[in-house]
Amino acid sequence: KNEVEQSPQNLTAQEGEFITINCSYSVGISALHWLQQHPGGGIVSLFMLSSGKKKHGRLIATINIQEKHSSLHITASHPRDSAVYICAVKNGTASKLTFGTGTRLQVTL
Amino acid sequence: DAGVIQSPRHEVTEMGQEVTLRCKPISGHNSLFWYRQTMMRGLELLIYFNNNVPIDDSGMPEDRFSAKMPNASFSTLKIQPSEPRDSAVYFCASTPFDYNTGELFFGEGSRLTVL
């Protein structure tokens, strides 16, 4: 079992839909990152959080430490949101990030 | 700010050749990371520097890989000799904060193909 699991692996949505991507992890963590990777390959850090909730524009990230679960929500989705979304966790005692395998999102018109 | 700058963006080389990938972190960032991304294994941390000092190189696959950070504005990742299984996208990232709390800023990546 991977330490970091994301669901769904693939997601297709229509423009305007509300999207949720989930991340579950099995170890204690000090921080969780949500990353976005566009088809061109570049990676952008969306959020880094260790508790509660963060919001940036149409993106919202939440984390429940007790349940070892985080969600990334996209409101009013747009085709430009099409990308791979990657969850990564930092174990409090380690210097490495452990990455999920990513969720490939396709938003169509 | 120009962001994290990596070069080359693409490299095609033959097995056995030496490959050097370069990274310029964002000015003022004190932590630098080299990651490798493959279809099979996803993103993996290779090595992490803090204030130019290698802190964790346990992700470096084998002795053929080496990384240096001679100063705060430059790092290299070298593969010698290269092998086809080294084909991947190599990302450099930097952060201005302590690694426990900092947001990561990634370069565009260097796509390496070893024939």
Interchain CB distance below 8 Å, A99 and B44: yes
How does pLDDT run across A65-104, given as a tens digit for each residue?
A: 999 999 999 999 999 999 999 999 987 666 678 899 999 9
Q: Which residue of B has its CA nearest to A87?
A: B43
SS (H, E, C) A50-73: CCEEEEECCEEEEEECCCCEEEEE
Contact B101 A45 (CB under 8 A): no
Determine what percent of chain A is predicted with pLDDT higher than 70.
94
DSSP state of A28: -
**Whole-number Å distance between alpha carbons of B10 and B115:** 13
Using the beta-carbon criterion (under 8 Å), do B55 and A97 form an inter-chain contact? no
C-alpha–C-alpha distance, residues A101 and B100, integer Å:
22
Residues of B in contact with A104 (CB under 8 A): none
* pLDDT value for B98: 62
Nearest to A23 by CA among A50, A63, A58, A51: A63
A30-44, A48-62, A91-105, B8-22: which has the minimum mean pLDDT? A91-105
Nearest to B43 among A45, A90, A99 (CB): A99
| Average per-residue pLDDT for chain B | 92
